[in-house]
Structure 1
Amino acid sequence: MIRIVVIDDHPLVRKGIEMVAGLEQDIQVVGFASNGAEALEQITSLKPNVALVDLRLPGEHGLDIIKKSRKVHKECKYVILTSYANEIEIQEAMKEEVDGYILKEALPEELIAALRLVVKGRKYYDPVVVQFAMGQNSTGEEDGISRLTPREMEVLGALSKGYNNKTIAEQLVISEHTVKKHIGQVLEKLNLKDRTQAALYAVSKGIGKK
C-alpha cells in the first residue's frame, strides 16, 4: 500500500487528491498538513511512503519543509505538487534531489503513475516541466544520446541528481576541468542549452536513477 501525506493549504486540492487516490486499491491518503509544523508532525507519526508537497505555503517554501522532513523520515519519497514551474525553482528542486515534480494541472492518471514510479525508486518530472525547461526544443536528442561516451553518460547521470562540477569530479575521480569538457560535449550532442536542460532530459529518460 502506498501511503500518502498531502502538504497543501488548499482544501479543494486536498479533497481532489483524496478522491483520486480513493479510486486506487494500492494508494491511500493517510494525512494532511497545511504548514511545516503540521507536516513534520504527520510525517513523523504516520511514516508515509510519499509526501506530496506544495511549493508555496503561507510564509513557507515547500523545499524547506522537505529538508526538515527528511531529517525525521529519510525513507519517504518527496514529490512537489505545484501550480508553478520556473527554471530557478526547478533547479532548486533538482539540487534537493526531490523524487518528483508534478503540476496541479496534471491528469489524475498522471499523478497515480508518478506515485507508483517514485515508490519504486524512479524520479518523475512532469512532461510540461521538462518541455518548459528545455525550451520546447528536442531536436537531435535521440540521435545524440547514442553518441555519448560511457563517461559522458556518467556525467549526465550525475547532472540528473543536481550535482555541481566539484561533486561530479570527486565521484568520477577526474578534474573539474574534465567535467566541464564532458558537460560541453553532452550539451552539444544532445542539442541542449545548459546543464538544467541536460539534467531534466536525464530524469525524463531515467538516466542516473538510484
Structure 2
Amino acid sequence: MKVFVIDDHPLVCEGIKAILDNEDGMDLAGSASNGQEAEQSFKLEKPDLALVDLRLPGESGIEIIRRLRPLAPDCRYIILTTYADPEDVRQAMEAGVDGYILKEALPEEMTSALRLVGRGRPYFDPSVMQMMLQQPKKGDDNLSELTDRELEVLRALTRGLSNREIAGMLFVTEHTVKKHISSILCKLDLKDRTQAALYAVSNGV
C-alpha cells in the first residue's frame, strides 16, 4: 500500500515515514507541504492512501482532497490533524473522507487505521466519535423513516462491516444489503456509508 503525506511540518512526515518503515506492505510514496506540490506528485505516484493535514498555511486540507480526487480516483483519504472540532468533522464527512486521525494517536493506532481504511472501511478516532455522540442529536424524524431491517444495517455500518459481512450476519444477499444501504442514504440524505455510520453514532443508534 502506497501512502502519501500532505503536511507542512517536516517532523510529522519523518515520523510517519519511520512508522511505515517498520510495517510490512506499507511504503511512503511521497510527501508534500501544500496542495500544489501534492497535485504534481499525485499525477506520477497514484497513491493508495493519503494522510492530509486539515489546516495548511493558506489552504484547507479538505479542499486539497477535492482537487486530488480526479488525479487518483482510487485513492482513499484520511484527515490527520490536532483538531477535533465538530464543524471540522462535519466538513470532512461532507467531503467523503475515509478516516479522521488525531496527531496524538499512538503509532499502532495509526497503522491499524491505515490498514482498515486500505481495506475499504472507515476509521474515525474514538475521541472524535465520542465528541460527536455528545453533540445535540439531529435527524430523529429521518431515523423514524427507517425500517427495522434498515436500522440493523445502519448499526452494522457503525461497526465498519463490509456488505458481505452484513449479508452473512442478516442471512440475506449482498444485493439486498446494497439496496438497504441505498435506501438508508436516500432517507437520511447522506452521500455514503461513512457519513451514514457517523450519523448513526451521533444520533445514538
Q: TM-score, normalised by structure 1?
A: 0.70
1:85 maps to 84
Unaligned runs of 5+ in 1: 137-147, 161-170, 181-194, 206-210
1:30 maps to 29
- Indicate how the Cα distance of structure 1 residues 91 and 200 shifts in structure 2: closer, same or farther if over 3 A, else same: farther
**Distance apart, 1:196 and its partner CA:** 8.9
Unaligned runs of 5+ in 2: 136-146, 160-181, 189-195
CA distance in 2, matches of 1:57, 1:127: 24
1:42 maps to 41
Q: Please list, as runs of the form range in 1=range in 2, the aligned pairs for 1:67-106 lying within 5 A after superposition.
A: 67-106=66-105
CA distance in 1, matches of 2:184, 2:84: 34
1:142 maps to none
1:172 maps to 183
Secondary structure of the 2:120 match is: coil
**Distance apart, 1:157 and its partner CA:** 7.8
CA distance in 2, matches of 1:48, 1:55: 19
Residue deviations 1:117-149 (CA, integer Å, cap 9, x gap):
11111000011111122129xxxxxxxxxxx71
CA RMSD of aligned residues (A): 3.3
Q: TM-score, normalised by structure 2?
A: 0.71
**Distance apart, 1:25 and its partner CA:** 2.0
Amino acid at match of 1:66: I
Secondary structure of the 1:29 match is: strand
Q: Please list, as runs of the form range in 1=range in 2, the aligned pairs for 1:115-154 lying within 5 A after superposition.
A: 115-135=114-134, 149-153=148-152
Amino acid at match of 2:19: V
**Distance apart, 1:96 and its partner CA:** 1.3
**Distance apart, 1:153 and its partner CA:** 4.1
2:6 and 2:38 in contact (8 A); partners too:
yes
CA distance in 2, matches of 1:49, 1:61: 21
1:66 maps to 65
Identical aligned residues as a percent: 43
CA distance in 2, matches of 1:60, 1:201: 28
2:107 maps to 108
2:199 maps to 198
1:15 maps to 14
